[in-house]
Structure formats: structure tokens, C-alpha cells
């Protein structure tokens, strides 16, 4: 009788152990890890923004070929700087871009999934709203090129006084790094050096381009 109980117990033990091993195999563990770090789905429909931007550009005599949309509601480890072509009715390029660090340390990624927003001096935050990309200048960062941003709304009216410009920064990656974040500066939309080379060519051909920073 004892021998029979021992045999049944042993059989149950090995059966359970086999099932546990099946769950915890490297293959299944790998699938679990992939599920954890999978990019979040972006459901935002920008159609209304594109339509409003086109009307705004016509009304204010701005460039009617291209415009730039930056969505700071997207995780900073993903591309969220979109170059939109009005004629093609499509996004033609997308890039990584930083946002302001706010009260967090400069260069950190502490607010990678929730960009702090402010128009106040010394807030070190990004400001939402429509900007007109103005003159090309010299930067101390990246490829040494920047573009002056003129804030056109109450939410970004201090942009010029805060020295908010479009520039490149060595700390910004070319490709997506999610779930990691992108280094945060003091409020300027900063892109990678390689990205800025492309954007610079675009802006030298297209004057008075609208840049619209949103957070949905």
C-alpha cells in the first residue's frame, strides 16, 4: 500500500513539475518580456489638426506645402515629431524630439511619459500651441544650427523671451528607444544631429513653416 502511494505521489510530482517547466521555459519567458516592452498603441487621429493647420496657414499667409506637428502626449522614447505634406495629405517624415525637464534634472528622462507643460520663465518646460519657424541662426548645440520660434498663442507667448528654439542635441537618438526615454532639456524641441540635417534642408527651402506642439 505504501509503495502504491509513493508511486502515485511521484507521478503527480513529475507531472506538476513538467507543467511548471513548460510555463517557465526560456521561450515563454521571452514572449512575456516582449509583451511587457511592446510599444503602446497610438490611437490619436490627427485629421482635425491637419485641417485646422491648413486653414491657419492660408489665413496667416504661412507656408502651404509643409507643416510640423509635435505630439508631447506620446512617450518620449517614440517618434513624435511629424513633417506633414499638405499636397500629399500625408506624414512624410518623423523624428525623435525632446521636451522640457521641468523640475526634474536637466538631461534626465524622468517625465518620459508625461511631459510637463508651462509658458512661465525658468519653468524649463515645453509650451503648447502654434509657432512660426523664423530665421535660421547659430546654436551652441549639435550641428550648430537653430531656428527661432515665434509663439502665436497665449500658451507659448513667451517663447522668444525664453529663447525657445528648434535645434539639435547630441543626447537625442536617431531611432526609437522605448521603453527608455529621450533626454530632457529646458523646453526647446531638440532633435538628433542627423535629423536636424534633414530638417535644416527642408526649412531652407520652405519659409514661414508652422510648427504646432500639442498634448492630447
pLDDT in tens, 101-149: 999 999 999 999 999 999 999 999 999 999 999 999 999 999 999 999 9
Between CA 19 and CA 7 the distance in angstroms is 19
Contact indicator for 187, 124 with CB cutoff of 8 Å:
yes
Q: Which phi and psi (to 5°) does residue 166 adopt? A: -90, 120
Q: In this model, does residue 175 exceed pLDDT 60? A: yes
SS (H, E, C) 1-40: CHHHHHHHHHHHHHHHHHHHHHHCCHHHHHHHHHHHHCCC
Angle at 58 between CA 132 and CA 205, to 5 degrees: 55
Topology annotation, domain 47-214: L,D-transpeptidase catalytic domain-like (2.40.440)
How large a percentage of the chain has pLDDT more than 90? 79
117/128 Cα distance (integer angstroms): 7
- In this predicted model, what pLDDT tens digit does every residue of 19-67 receive, in sequence order? 434 444 444 444 433 334 455 555 567 999 999 999 999 999 999 999 9
Judge whether 185 and 161 are in contact, CB under 8 Å: no
113-126 exposure pattern, b = at least 16 Cβ within 10 A, e = fewer: eebbbbbeeebbbb
pTM of the model: 0.82
Domains of the chain, by residue range, sit at: 2-37, 47-214
Q: Judge whether residue 155 has pLDDT over 50.
A: yes
Residues in the chain: 216
Amino acid at each position: 500500500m505504501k509503495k502504491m502511494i509513493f508511486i502515485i505521489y511521484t507521478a503527480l510530482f513529475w507531472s506538476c513539475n513538467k507543467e511548471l517547466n513548460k510555463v517557465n521555459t526560456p521561450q515563454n519567458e521571452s514572449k512575456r518580456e516582449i509583451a511587457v516592452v511592446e510599444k503602446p498603441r497610438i490611437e490619436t487621429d490627427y485629421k482635425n489638426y491637419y485641417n485646422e493647420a491648413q486653414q491657419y496657414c492660408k489665413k496667416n499667409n504661412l507656408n502651404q506645402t509643409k507643416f510640423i506637428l509635435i505630439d508631447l502626449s506620446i512617450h518620449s522614447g517614440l517618434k513624435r515629431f511629424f513633417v506633414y505634406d499638405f499636397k500629399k495629405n500625408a506624414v512624410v517624415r518623423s523624428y525623435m524630439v525632446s521636451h522640457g525637464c521641468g523640475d526634474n534634472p536637466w538631461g534626465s528622462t524622468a517625465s518620459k511619459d508625461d511631459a510637463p507643460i508651462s509658458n512661465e520663465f525658468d519653468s524649463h518646460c515645453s509650451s503648447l500651441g502654434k509657432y512660426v519657424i523664423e530665421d535660421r541662426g547659430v546654436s551652441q548645440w549639435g550641428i550648430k544650427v537653430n531656428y527661432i520660434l515665434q509663439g502665436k498663442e497665449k500658451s507659448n507667448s513667451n517663447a522668444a523671451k525664453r529663447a525657445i528654439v528648434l535645434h539639435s542635441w547630441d543626447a537625442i537618438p536617431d531611432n526609437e528607444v522605448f521603453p527608455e526615454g529621450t533626454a530632457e532639456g529646458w523646453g526647446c524641441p531638440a532633435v538628433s544631429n542627423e535629423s536636424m540635417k534633414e530638417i535644416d534642408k527642408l526649412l531652407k527651402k520652405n519659409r514661414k513653416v508652422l510648427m504646432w506642439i500639442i498634448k492630447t
